[in-house]
Structure 1
Amino acid sequence: MLWLAKGLGRGGAEQLLLNCVRHADRSRYDIEVAYVLPHKDALVPALEAAGVPVHCLGGAPGRRWPLRLRALLAERRYDLVHTHMPVPAVAARLLRPGGGRRPRLVHTEHNLWERYRLPTRWANALTYGRNDAVVAVSHAVAAGVGRRRAGDWLTVVHHGPDLGGAPSGPAARRAARAELGLPEDALVVGTVGNLTAKKDQATLLAAFALLRDKEPDARLVLVGSGPLEAELRARAGDGVLFAGMRADVPALLPGWDVFCLSSRQEGLPVALMEAMASGLPSVVTRVGGMPEILDDDVEGRLVPPGDPARLADALAELADPVRRGRMGAAARERAGSFDVAGAQRAIERVYARVLAN
């Protein structure tokens, strides 16, 4: 089978591919991966180290990648193509031979449809019925997909992080803070995500400025890169560290006190699940699937999107170490229900069902 993605950078959806490969039933399924954007290749070495052949469809000129996909499908004659991200998924649906012949098509929906640009939404809508099955990463995502077709065609699968024995405890905390140059006794808020309008780090920066009025020694760490980096750097005040794209996020998490996502849209972010599994309390916006795994005032705080004052107030509440400790312990306990191996088994049950038809 072929897993098809737009890129293999360090985004959450891409990381899920690597996590699932590690838990796939390789005695039953021969998995290959293809991707479109050649510059987004950070996870290629890890996939190849796991014994997965990887095909880059992009290159100069990049617009020819659908032709390369068609050639790959014809050459390899896959039984099943599992698509991720809408643009390559549309191409796979259009390139599949008519009459329902193989390959079967399974699509994972990672985001709310409202996030997509209008041409993408139209292309998605016109071809979506060609999917043999759809997996949604949260019930919030499924609610949008479910309006398009009824029946057992749609399955919700909550994925989970695969931290791989990441360090924890006081020594890990000291090492993480030393790596980032953070004071040992400062309140540290961390976030992970591409620097885009969807993630809305601008609201987080405004909230952090308000937090510094109450906690002048606080620090904010932004892990990620993206098109808004220059604009966000211009907005940032004292105490803000842009850490760039990192491969060692699980090792950095013990150095933070609070995890935060100020997103305006989400499916179900892997970064939040990783933070909870690391025992961090979180302040996140009440969007997408995040309220499905974090209860307000239990594992953290839920706040409205686009509201710096409410976000700052929630972060200030977690300046209290007792409150942080209680919520962090609850987050770690809740994370015990995140099961990447179980998620992959659920996806393989979807594979078995569509391949049997």
Structure 2
Amino acid sequence: MSPRRTRVLWLTRSLGPGGAEQLLADRAKYADTARFEIEVAYLLPGQDALAPALERAGLRVHCLGGAPGAAGRTDPRWPWHLHQLLAERRYGLVHTHTPVPAAAARLLVLGRNAPRLVHTEQRPWGRHRLATGWADALTYRRNDAVIAGSRAVGRTVPAGRLRAGDRVTVVQQGPDLTGAPTGPPARAAARAQLGLPADAVVIGTAGGLTPDEDQATLLAAYAGLPRTRPDIRLVLIGGGPLESRLRARAAGLGLTDVVFAGPRPDVPALLPALDVFALSSRRGVLPSALPAAMICGLPSVGTRVGATPEVLDDDAQGLLVPPGDPVALGSALGRLVADAGLRERLGAAARERAAGFGAAAAQRAVEAVYRQVLRP
């Protein structure tokens, strides 16, 4: 006799085009629909870019914060709307992905027939606003299971906030690049879009232009590279509050060959333009661009922070350097720029390692957690 199909709610703040939200949309395509009927609820009505992709994957989508697609502030009655949705749809399991709706769900799912609760942490635990942190801390032990996006994040969850005997399950996931362009035509098209010479050795990064990502150190490292071969370029894909400051920094360093590509929705299509991926981050969250670069077979230089050393072994799939050290970063980039054989070796190993970060494998791991907490 086959197990009964369980209705599951994925609850999150936004369905905008962010990294964590895209991971949900990628996993949705690989859900075990014979065992789980998954629906999605979100709070921000103006942040619904990924709702169509989820619906195409067969998931029913609910907006709790107002009319879907509407601009403006979220309806403050969203907790009441969540309460109504839980009562109407009678979920067997609620999987929360952001702290505020997670705390609300933990307070609302009470009683003998309440759904099981699974929560995913993508960022180090406790780094929230004060009120959010208090709500999270006071309700956290109601989780039946906790999933972390990396071992580094999982280690930050205090044992005192878990139920006795529980452990955090780590599920690492990269973007689903199935069908993404590859090969020489993709490289030529991406370089044309970015205005890059066909024969340049291109270093690139992708992410928000913020203090945590520390592109200022990357610019300083790039400025220190020897110009014994003039055909090198640096590409910064992304936007953010530091863009004007970073442009001024590049000008102050005399860098005229840096491409500020701005925020782009087509990052996977641009990655084939690169020869080396650089990650100068100071934070512990693993950006989705790094596994994406690995899937594309790019060697990477990354900082020894957070989850990066979990996916990159030094001198195996990439090179690791201390954060905030332009000399060390520049030295590692210089090795890769000068050695095509090293780039090829590390890139091939990176592609092989990244196969384990696929969306299908991640969804199977998440569903294994579901099965565990749903056991009678």
Q: What is the TM-score normalised by the length of structure 1?
A: 0.91
Alignment counterpart, residue 81 of structure 1, candidates 90, 94, 97 = 94
Q: Structure 1 residue 344 and structure 2 residue 363: aligned?
A: yes
**Counterpart amino acid of residue 316 in structure 1:** G
Work out the number of aligned pairs and report it. Answer: 356
Query: How many angstroms apart in 1 are the aligned matches of 2:50 and 2:353?
Result: 28
Three-state SS of the structure 1 residue aligned to 2:219 is helix
Query: How many angstroms apart in 2 are the aligned matches of 1:154 and 1:314?
Result: 34
Aligned to 1:322: 341
User: Could you tell me how far 1:250 is from its partner in structure 2?
Assistant: 2.0
Aligned to 1:93: 106
Aligned to 1:62: 74
Q: Greater Rg, structure 1 or structure 2?
A: 2
Aligned to 2:13: 6
Query: How many angstroms apart in 2 are the aligned matches of 1:226 and 1:40?
Result: 18
Deviations 1:228-262 (A, max 9, x none): 33433343342222323333222211110111121
Query: How many angstroms apart in 2 are the aligned matches of 1:119 and 1:311?
Result: 38
Identical pairs, percent: 62
Structure 1: any 5+ residue segments left out of the alignment? none
Aligned to 1:193: 207
User: Could you tell me how far 1:115 is from its partner in structure 2?
Assistant: 4.0
User: Could you tell me how far 1:207 is from its partner in structure 2?
Assistant: 2.5
Contact 1:11 1:193 in 2 (8 A): no
Contact 1:140 1:288 in 2 (8 A): yes
Superposition RMSD in Å:
2.2
Query: How many angstroms apart in 2 are the aligned matches of 1:214 and 1:18?
Result: 45
**Counterpart amino acid of residue 144 in structure 1:** T
Three-state SS of the structure 2 residue aligned to 1:113 is coil
Three-state SS of the structure 2 residue aligned to 1:288 is coil
Q: What is the TM-score normalised by the length of structure 2?
A: 0.87
Structure 2: any 5+ residue segments left out of the alignment? 1-7, 67-71
User: Could you tell me how far 1:153 is from its partner in structure 2?
Assistant: 4.4
Distance 1:307 1:12, change over 3 A: same
Q: Structure 1 residue 179 and structure 2 residue 193: aligned?
A: yes
Contact 1:203 1:307 in 2 (8 A): yes
**Counterpart amino acid of residue 323 in structure 1:** L
Higher helix fraction (1 or 2) = 1
Query: How many angstroms apart in 2 are the aligned matches of 1:268 and 1:230?
Result: 25
The runs of 4+ residues in structure 1 deviating greater than 6 Å are none
Q: Structure 1 residue 35 and structure 2 residue 42: aligned?
A: yes
User: Could you tell me how far 1:114 is from its partner in structure 2?
Assistant: 5.7
Deviations 1:269-291 (A, max 9, x none): 32211111111000111111111
Aligned to 1:303: 321
Query: How many angstroms apart in 2 are the aligned matches of 1:182 and 1:89?
Result: 45
User: Could you tell me how far 1:39 is from its partner in structure 2?
Assistant: 3.3
User: Could you tell me how far 1:214 is from its partner in structure 2?
Assistant: 6.1
Deviations 1:85-123 (A, max 9, x none): 2222222222322x4642221111111126434443333
Three-state SS of the structure 2 residue aligned to 1:74 is helix
Contact 1:4 1:81 in 2 (8 A): yes
Q: Structure 1 residue 127 and structure 2 residue 146: aligned?
A: no
Distance 1:156 1:19, change over 3 A: same
Match runs of 1:1-357 below 5 Å: 1-59=8-66, 60-62=72-74, 64=76, 65-97=78-110, 99=111, 101-113=113-125, 115-145=127-157, 147-148=159-160, 149=162, 150-211=164-225, 216-237=230-251, 238-320=256-338, 321-357=340-376
Query: How many angstroms apart in 2 are the aligned matches of 1:213 and 1:94?
Result: 60
User: Could you tell me how far 1:295 is from its partner in structure 2?
Assistant: 0.5
**Counterpart amino acid of residue 101 in structure 2:** P
Query: How many angstroms apart in 2 are the aligned matches of 1:75 and 1:202?
Result: 51
Query: How many angstroms apart in 2 are the aligned matches of 1:197 and 1:58?
Result: 31
User: Could you tell me how far 1:185 is from its partner in structure 2?
Assistant: 1.5
